Structure 1
Amino acid sequence: MTSIDDAYEFRRFLPSGTDVNQETRGWLQADARGFHAKRFTETSLARVSSGLVTDGQTLAGTYARSRQEASLPAEYPVATFASFPKTLNVGGGRMLPAHLISSVTVRPTHRRRGLLRRMMTDNLAVAAAEGFAIAALTASEATIYRRFGFGPAAWTRDIEVSTDARFRLLTVPRGSCDQIEARALTDIGPRVFARFHAGQTGSVDRHVGIWHHVSGIADSDGQEDRSVRAAAHYDDEGVIDGYVSYRVTGDLRTVKLLDFVAADDNAALGLWHYLASIDLTETVTWKQGRLDEPLSWALENPRLLQVRAVEDWLWLRILDPIAALEARPYSSTGRLILRIVDSLGHASGVFQLTVTDAGATVTRDDDASPDLDLDVWVLGSLYLGGADPLSLAAGGQLVEHSPGAVCTLRALLAPDVPVYGITPF
C-alpha cells in the first residue's frame, strides 16, 4: 500500500522576496488558484512575495511526486499552508505573541488524502516547540478546524445601514472628516490601527497585504483598484484618529466598506456621519461590523441598521494552557481546576487556575479532581471572553463537576471590552 510520503513531498521554506524564485512563484500561483483569484502577474508576484518576507511568513507546500499529462506544473503544490507571528490583544492592552495560520488550500483532486491533517499537525508541533502559547486563524469553512483544537473566539456582523435623509445621529461627534487619497493609508493606516489594536481585546496585528488592499494598490487579484476612495477623521487637535476606505458600487447607491478603523468611539461616529453625507448614495454595507455596534444606539432611528449575517471571525487554538491563561487579565478573583482534553496532546492535562488581585497563576496537577471538563477547542472559544461559558455548558461542551464552577469561570473571563477584530489573514 502506498503511503502518504510515497505519494507526496512535504516542504517548508521561506519566500524569496522581490526576486521571485521558482518555488515561491509556484506556491503563490497555487495559493491564488485555491482561493479562486486571478493568476498573479510578474509585478504582483514580486509585491506579494516581498510582503511575505516583511511579515516573516513561512510557507509550506505539498508536492505530488508524479503528475499526469498537461496537469499543472510540478512546482505548483497540490496543497498550500502559511504561518507567521503577530500579536493578539488578550485584554487590558496585553499582547500575546500568536502563531497565525493562513493560505490553507488543497487542490480538489487531492482531497481526503490526509494532506491538511499532515500539514496542520506538523505546523502546530513546530509552533509549540517554538514556544507559542496560542495559534490563530480565520476560517472560510466552519466545520474544518475544530478537529485540530481551534474554537471560534470572536464574531462579526454583516451590516447594512440606510444613509438616506432619515439618517440622523442623536449626538454630533467632535472633530471633522475630510477625503484623502486612498494610497495615503499605507502611511496613515498603520498608525491609526496601532491605537485601535492597543485598546481592542481580540485584535490581531496586521500584515502588509492588508494595506495594499484597503489603499487600492492591489485588489484580491493583485491588480490596482482605482475605484477605492478614503476619508479620515481628525480630532479637535487635527490629529487623524480614524479612517475609512470604500468603493461606490456601479449604481452609485451603495457604499461598500473595505476598512473602517477608529481609535475611539467618537472617531467611529464621526466616520459614520461622513459616510451618510456622500452624495447620491443611500446605503452603506460593512461585513465586519461589531456584535455590539454602538451606531445602533447613536441613531435616532436604530432600524436604519440591519444585520444581514453573523459570522465567526477569529479561531483560537491553545498550545500552552499555563502561558496562555497567565497572560490574560481577569475580571474577578477565584480558583478553578480545569481538565483539558486535547487529541493532539499539546494542551492535555489538569490545571489549577488561581486568580488573585496580583494576577493569575496556573499549575499542572494531573491528580487533582477537576471542577470543569472541556475540550481544548472550547478553551479557545472561551479564552478572550467572547463566548459565554453558560451557553457552552448548556450546549453540552463544558461539563461541571463542582456546583457554581461555570458561573465562576464566567465571572473570571468577562472581557474588559467586547471582543472584536478586523484583521483578515
Structure 2
Amino acid sequence: MSFADAPIDADSFARLDAGGLRLGLVDTSDRDAFAAWVQAEMRGFHAGALAEKYIDEQRQRIAYRRTTAVWDDSTTDAATPVATVSSWPTPLTLPGDTSVSGWAISSVTVAPTHQRRGIARALLEAELRTADSLGVPLAILTVSEATIYSRFGFSPTTMTADLEIDTRRASWTGPAASGRVQFISLEQLNEVGRDVAERARRAVPGEIELDDHLWGRLIGLLGDEKGESKNLRAVIYHDADGQPQGFALYRLKGDPADFSSHTATVEHLRTVTDDAYAGLWRYLLELPLVATVSAPLRTVDEPLVWQVSDPRAVRAVRRRDHLWARILDVTAALEARRYAAPGRIALDISDPLGFAHGRVLVSIDDSGTATVSPLDGSAPADAASLALSVNELGALYLGGVSARTLVRAGRITELRAGSADAVDAAFHSPVTPWLSSWF
C-alpha cells in the first residue's frame, strides 16, 4: 500500500457521513474526477476555472499525491467536491545537516456554501491521523489564514520578509564574486537548476524538496495561464571552476513616467555558496535603469543587509509566518535533528489530539545527537524542565523561535528556573530557518 491510497480515516468519514457528506479519495487516473477536484480547489482560492491543458498539466505531475475530497451528493453538481485537500511525504531539512519526512498538506479548501459544518476539522484531523498511521513524524503546511491551524497543533516555525531595496542608495560593499553570471533560458534552467535548488535546500532548516509540480511552477514552466513566463528572466551563477552554484529569476516593470526607474522583482534566488550569493545579488542591485529591487519571501536574516553601503536601503516591507509544523511522533521528530549544546531536557507536553501528549526526557550528547525516552516521576536533578503544548514544541523545533521569548509570552512554563536558557542553547540553529517557496 502506498501513502496515496492509504485507507480514508474512519473517524472523519463517520463524522461527515452523519451530516450527509462523503469523504473519500479521488481516483486521479480518472480525468473527469481529477478535473472536478482541481476546479473545486481553484474555486476555493477564488481563482478562475483552469483551461483543459492546465488540468492535464497538473494531473501529470500531482496525480501521485494523496488527493482527498468531500462531496455533497444532494447538490445539483454532485460530481464537484465541496472540499479538497492534497498531501504527500517530503524531506524537510533540519538543523545539523539532517532531514526528516514531513507530511506536506496543501490545497485545503471548503466551499463557501458548506462553511461551519466541521468539514475543515474533519479533513485536517484525518490528515494527521493518516500521517501518524504511516509513521510520518510531523505534518507541515504553508497557510493563507493564520488563525485556523493552531487549533490542530500547528505553529509557525519559519518567518519570511518581503524586501524592497533602493538601488540608488545600496551601493555594493560586499565581497567580489569569483565566478560569473550568465543568462539562461527557462528550459535550460529546468535542466540544471533543480540540482542547485536541492543542494541549497539541504543547508537550510525549513526547506522542503520540490516535486515536479512545485519546481515547474517556481521556474515558470507550469501553470502559466496568463503567459507571464515570457517576462521572466533567468540568470545562473557559475563559480571559478565553471560549476553552477546559484540562480535567480526576476521580472522587470517600467515606470511610465521615468524609464530609468524600473522595478526588478526577484521571484526566486537560490544559492549553494556565499560566493554565488554575492555574485547574484550584486548583479541584481546593479541592473541598469532599475531603481528598486523587490524580493518577496526572503529570510529574515538576509546577509545582503550587511553587503551594501546603506543598510536602511534594504527595507522589510512585510514580515510574516510562513512554514507551520505539527509534531506527531515526539521521539522520531526530536531524534532526527541535531543540537547545538549537550544536556538533558524534560518536556511535559500537552496535546488535545493525543499524538504528542506525555512526558519525555531528551538526552543530548556531546555530538549533538539526542535520545528521547518516556519520563515517569520527577525530572532528573540535572535536567532542564518545561511544560508546553505541542504548538510551542513545533515552534521550537527548527530553532527559529526562542524558548525564553515563549516563556515571557506565557506560552511555556519553566518548571525549573533557567530551563528556557538551556533549551535555547540546545535547540539553536546556526542557520536561520527559512522556507523559500509555497506549497
TM-score class, shorter-chain normalisation, is over 0.9
Tell me what 1:187 maps to: 191
More displaced stretch, 30-39 vs 130-139: 30-39
Equivalent-residue separation in structure 1 for 2:395 and 2:227 (angstroms): 36
Q: Secondary structure at the match of 2:168?
A: coil
Quote the offset at 1:37 in angstroms. 2.3
- Partner of residue 398 from structure 2, selected from 378, 384, 394: 384
For residues 17-52 of structure 1, the C-alpha deviation after alignment (integer angstroms, 9 at most, x for no partner) is xxx521111001111111222311121111111110
* Percent of aligned pairs with the same amino acid: 33
Of 4-13 and 325-334, more deviation after overlay is shown by: 4-13
Partner of 1:405: 419
Q: Give the corresponding residue for 1:360.
A: 370
Superposition deviation, residue 268 in structure 1: 1.2
Q: Structure 2 matches for 1:27-46, cutoff 5 A?
A: 27-46=37-56
Superposition deviation, residue 250 in structure 1? 4.8
Residue of structure 2 in register with 1:25 after alignment? 35
Name the amino acid aligned to 1:29. Q
**Partner of 1:136 in structure 2?**
140
**Contact 1:185/1:211, CA 8 A, preserved across alignment:** no
Aligned residues of 1:296 and 1:305 also touching (Cα < 8 A): yes
How has the CA–CA distance of structure 1 residues 61 and 221 changed in structure 2, closer, same or farther, with 3 Å as cutoff? farther
CA contact (8 A) 2:196 2:271 kept: yes
SS at match of 2:251: strand
1:65 to 73, 76, 81: 73
* Alpha carbons 2:170, 2:314 under 8 Å: kept: no
Q: Please tell me the residue identity of whatever aligns with 1:365.
A: L
Are 1:107 and 2:116 counterparts?
no
Mapped partners of 2:332, 2:162: distance in 1: 34
The answer to whether 1:9 aligns with 2:22 is yes
Give secondary structure in 2 for the equivalent of 1:410: helix
Q: How many residue pairs end up in the alignment?
A: 415
1:131-163 CA-partner distances (Å, limit 9, x unpaired): 011110001111110000001000110001122
Amino acid paired to 2:127: N
Distance verdict in 2 for CA 1:281–1:22, change over 3 Å: same
For the Cα contact (< 8 Å) 2:181–2:237, is it kept in 1? yes
Report if the CA contact (8 A) 1:40-1:222 is conserved: no
| RMSD, matched Cα | 1.9
Moved over 4 A (4+): 219-224
Q: In structure 2, what residue type is equivalent to 1:239?
A: Q
TM-score computed with the length of structure 1 as normaliser: 0.93
For 1:225-244, list aligned pairs within 5 A.
Answer: 225-244=229-248
Q: Give secondary structure in 2 for the equivalent of 1:421.
A: coil
CA distance in 2, matches of 1:79, 1:223: 29
d(CA) in 2 for partners of 1:101 and 1:26?
Answer: 19
Partner of 1:333: 342
Pick closer, same or farther for the CA change 1:57–1:14 going to 2, 3 Å: farther
Q: Structure 1, residues 187-222: CA drift from partner, whole Å, max 9, x if none?
A: 222110111012112211112223322332234657
1:152 maps to 2:165:
no
Asked whether the 8 Å contact 1:292–1:418 carries over to 2, the reply is yes
**Aligned amino acid, residue 421 of structure 1:** L
- From 411, 418, 421, the counterpart of 2:432: 418
Structure 2 unaligned runs (5+)?
Answer: 1-13
Look up the SS of the partner of 2:326 in the other structure: strand
Query: Does the 8 A contact of 1:201 with 1:416 survive in 2?
Result: no
Whether the 8 Å contact between 1:388 and 1:410 is mirrored in structure 2 is yes
